[in-house]
A = this chain, B = another copy of it.
Amino acid sequence: MSEAAVPDRLASRARELDAGDELAALRARFVLDDDDVVYLDGNSLGALPATVPDRVDDVVRRQWGRLRIRSWEESGWWTAPERIGDRIAPLVGAAAGQIVVGDSTSVNVFKALVAAVRMARETGGEGRDEIVVDATTFPTDGYIAGSAARMTGCALRPVEPAGVPGALGDRTAAVLLNHVDYRTGRLHDLPGLTAAVHAAGAVVVWDLCHSAGALPVGLDAHGVDLAVGCTYKYLNGGPGSPAYLYVRRDLQGRFDSPLPGWNSHAEPFGMRSAYEAAPGAVRGRVGTPDILSMLALEASLDVWEGVGIDAVRAKSLALTDFFLECVEAYAGPGRTECVTPRRHGERGSQVALRCPDAGDVMKHLIGRGVVGDFRHPDVLRFGFTPLYVGFADAERAARVLGEVLDEVAGGATA
């Protein structure tokens, strides 16, 4: 086959794959087609679901503007954190009553880690004085873990994920792990690592920011203790939409929050001076929830109606496989290095490519309508959100990448 035939062949393959894609129609649930952009940054900020604008408008004009204070009851504002938690629950394999929405991921990491250390000590004693954290984690998790360690009298022990099982022991109180690495897109072994942490008598906290909404998580099935995640990536909740906290049902009575705000009180309107923690997931709440962002998130979850996470995962892998094939064809070997694992069992829903001048390359890509992002120092990230990205998008992105690499690297391969 001639060189010139490659684009035709891949474009044709893309059309076939799109035609056979059972999830293809879901794209219409998003606001996307008013520009000619391939949006591969849904792993940073999910696209706008079509039902959100009118819902937010109703929240602002009617619920706030007309009902005002009455909306705390009449519009269901007060119970939004646990109600929306229950809608996220099936997407991460959790039964109802274990997730509350609110605060940022960073704040939830703090709640979860401090509570984890307290749980571990309750059963394992004060000798549990180490927090193990993924050394390659998204920085905020490490910073917050450092603060949690400092404030609970623990040492912080950063460990490469592969080395975590070997680092666990009698001193381990809590372990904070990422399900999918934000930079490389590597998927970690949640069932195996959870079991290892439990075998060491410690408590595990999983950060699901880069997996929830992209692949099955199975929190209940794998006996995860605590988990946190954001909602603005694959869950499309909007910029800075509130994060969530999962506390396994049988641990809720022992969840001792470092942020015991009035929203987590057993009787929040009793205005009592003594704190008494509410039962259930509500215990993870803190202060007054940010209703506009929270109800935008609630509306955004409508896009999951009738969608199974297994089908999402199958399409995600097919998309990233196809993208990698196209990158190889268009960018040629040796122009980029793929830092995302090829094995399906180790891959999330993004492809991260390392190349020289990655910051410049991404600027050119965006200028030509292919939106991914750049992560310091040399990584191009392309997120594949199966609800609205198709195979033709993947083909176009790889083709434009090939062209941009020619330009930026200066040497066209003709």
* Chain A contact residues, CB within 8 Å of chain B: 31, 34-35, 39, 41, 44-45, 47-48, 52-53, 56-57, 60-61, 63-66, 68-72, 77, 103-107, 110, 114, 135, 138-140, 142-144, 146-147, 151-152, 158, 183, 230, 232, 238-243, 257-263, 265, 269-273, 275, 286-294, 296, 366, 371, 373, 375-376
Contacts and interface: CB of A to CB of B under 8 A. Distances in A.
B376 A65 contact: no
A104 B260 CA distance: 12
A64 B104 contact: no
A366 B239 CA distance: 36
A380 to B, nearest CB: 14
Contacts of A273: 135, 139, 142, 158
A139 B376 contact: no
Contacts of A241: 290, 292
A270 B138 CA distance: 11
A257 B151 CA distance: 11
Given A60-B48, A69-B373, A271-B375, A147 B104 contact: no
A301 to B, nearest CB: 15
A85 B290 CA distance: 17
A78 to B, nearest CB: 10
A107 B61 contact: no
A240 B291 contact: yes
Contacts of A287: 103-107, 140, 243
Contacts of A48: 60-61, 64-65, 68
Contacts of A142: 273, 275
Ranked 7 nearest A-B pairs via Cβ: A104-B287, A106-B287, A106-B261, A239-B291, A140-B262, A48-B65, A290-B293
18 contacts: A48-B61, A53-B61, A53-B65, A64-B238, A69-B371, A70-B366, A77-B240, A103-B103, A104-B286, A104-B288, A104-B289, A104-B290, A139-B273, A143-B262, A239-B291, A239-B292, A240-B291, A269-B376
B53 A272 contact: no
Contact of A270 (B110, B290, B376): B376
B57 A41 contact: no
A100 B57 CA distance: 27
Contact of A259 (B107, B138, B373): B107
Nearest to A46: B68
Nearest to A291: B239
A103 to B, nearest CB: 7
Nearest to A375: B271
B56 A271 contact: no
B39 A240 contact: no
Contacts of A69: 41, 44-45, 371, 373
Given A104-B287, A105-B287, A143 B261 contact: yes
Given A44-B69, A65-B31, A273-B158, A143 B265 contact: yes
Contact of A238 (B52, B104, B291): B291
Given A35-B66, A39-B68, A293-B293, A271 B60 contact: no
Contacts of A72: 45, 239
A232 B106 CA distance: 23
Most buried by B among A44, A262, A292: A292
Contacts of A140: 261-263, 287
B158 A262 contact: no
Contacts of A151: 114, 151-152, 258
